[in-house]
Amino acid sequence: MTTPKTTSLSEKLLAEESETTNSLLGPPRLPPEIISLVFESLAVSKDWSTLRTCGVLSSAQLHSARKYLFSTVSISLITQVNVVTFKDIARRIQGLTTLLRRDPETSKYVTNLVLLDSFPVYDSDWITQHPCLPTFLHLLPNVQSFTFGCAVGYLSWALISSDLRIALTSLCKNPHLRTLTFCSLGNVPINLFDSAVRYLTLTNTLVSKAIVGDFQPSDNQFQLRYLAFRSSSLTHTESAWNLMQNCAATLKYLKWRCWEDPVAQASTLPGPIDLGKLTSLKKLSVRLSFGRHGYDLRGFHTLLQNTTEPMPLRILDISISFPLHFQPHKDRDILQHSSWVDFPDVLKRKEYRELKKVKMEFVINRYAGRTASNEGDPVLMFKKAIMRSLVKLRNASSFHFKLSIRTFNAS
């Protein structure tokens, strides 16, 4: 016969205390660190729909989701997968402005902003003319990366409204801003770059010497470390050089892309440039188009010759494309270009005594020379031919030289 189990008074009190504690604590919860990892994983995999769903689970998760949902804001007519009209963009700008006004905490999550117009290509209004845009930009205190300009077309700074110019200047002066990209803009005032920006990209953009607005440049305020720019004319080159001189004390990496017009009769280089004035430059990367006669290549050689002061340059990368030559291994303009012989003499000068590495890359048409199929691989034939032309550069003892050849598919 089984004796019934008796429960002591202390056990009853412990059971009641446990039930009370469970009712107060509610259901078990995941640690905040685990929840944060879940949101981060969704953002990395770009599962935005699931992330939005998680944001409406509770008020506690709303800002955890918005931290990733609003980290990048992109406003453009042509970068969308689906067809987007200006009315859609206008509603988006208005909606974002209203949201950020109501919830200032969300505005702090926007760290990457892309704003690309299409002036004056499309027969419609333009994004930069939207009346709410200046207000929207003023609501963003923590932007770290900003891209602005035209994806297609060209926009002069003078055609931007005064309110928007003030908002853009304020954003560029934001102490949190580190990366700035301007595309297809004209007459951008140089004082915009007198800021905390470290990495600057200028694509078909002219920088004006004029000082505008209430922000006046002061000594040693330029913080630029990296400058990438694309030049298609001597005007672009001179404009960029004006900026480089202002950042000479801090600029360490210069990435320069030149594209020679096939019908050009002169180089877009060197302009008034003396690289020796860039007292902190460690790496120079130049991308050239050979065009028909290699004017820009010769101009770059002249630019190196014009250096008047010793500089700390340690790495020189030169990439040269040959889009107009279908049999480069037979082209005397390429194989007998004077720069192949002159480059080593220039780079041995005392101004380049810190130079340790020179890398040269040639980019040729993948199908170059296919009309003569019995001659062998045209890429290998070009490599053998250009190696003979570069023998003096290859044998230089003051720096390490590396040659590479890659191909592209002609459109």
Q: Would strands 155-156 and 400-408 be described as parallel, antiparallel, or unpaired?
A: unpaired
Q: What tens digit of pLDDT does each residue of 195-227 get? A: 889 999 998 888 887 554 444 444 447 889 999
Q: Quick check: 298 and 334 in contact, CB under 8 A?
A: no
Average pLDDT for residues 26-40, to the nearest whole number?
69
Dist CA 279 CA 24 (whole Å): 67
- Please measure the distance between the N-terminal and C-terminal CA atoms of the chain and give it in whole angstroms: 95
Task: Give counts: helices (H), strands (E), the chain.
Answer: 14, 15
Dist CA 113 CA 130 (whole Å): 17
Average pLDDT for residues 13-33, to the nearest whole number?
59
Q: Which of 175-184, 324-333, 335-344 has the largest mean confidence?
A: 175-184
Q: Which of 14-23, 75-84, 167-176 has the largest mean confidence?
A: 167-176
Domain positions in the chain: 66-223, 255-411
Residues in the chain: 411
Alpha helix stretches (DSSP H) within 70-220 = 86-102, 104-107, 133-138, 162-172
Dist CA 91 CA 300 (whole Å): 48
How confident is the model at residue 64, as a pLDDT?
Answer: 76
The two tokens of residue 211 are: 């000082």
Q: Does 374 or 173 have the greater pLDDT score?
A: 173
pLDDT category of residue 21 using cuts at 50, 70 and 90: low
| 270: preceding bond cis by omega (within 30 degrees) | yes
Share of the chain above pLDDT 70, in %: 79
Sequence-separated (6 or more) residues with CB below 8 Å from residue 62: 55, 56
Q: Does 372 or 279 have the greater pLDDT score?
A: 279
Closest CA to 338 of 369, 301, 308: 301
The sign of the dihedral angle between the CA atoms of 130, 135, 136, 140 is positive
Dist CA 402 CA 315 (whole Å): 11
Please, what is the angle between helix 295-305 and helix 339-347, to 10°? Answer: 20
pLDDT category of residue 178 using cuts at 50, 70 and 90: very high
Judged against a pLDDT cut of 70, whether residue 28 lies above it is answered with no
How confident is the model at residue 214, as a pLDDT?
Answer: 43
Q: Quick check: 396 and 344 in contact, CB under 8 A?
A: yes
| 27: preceding bond cis by omega (within 30 degrees) | no
C-alpha distance from residue 358 to each of 59, 252, 255 (Å): 57, 17, 15
Judged against a pLDDT cut of 60, whether residue 251 lies above it is answered with yes
Judged against a pLDDT cut of 80, whether residue 288 lies above it is answered with yes
Q: What tens digit of pLDDT does each residue of 304-329 get? A: 998 999 999 999 999 988 877 777 87
Identify the DSSP state of 278: -
Judged against a pLDDT cut of 80, whether residue 257 lies above it is answered with yes
Q: Does 62 or 99 have the greater pLDDT score?
A: 99
Q: Quick check: 395 and 345 in contact, CB under 8 A?
A: no
| Poorest-pLDDT segment among 57-61, 337-341, 369-373 | 369-373
Q: What tens digit of pLDDT does each residue of 131-165 get? A: 899 999 999 999 999 999 988 888 889 888 899 99
Mean pLDDT of the chain: 81
How confident is the model at residue 314, as a pLDDT?
Answer: 96
Average pLDDT for residues 349-359, to the nearest whole number?
93
Three-class SS of residue 100? helix
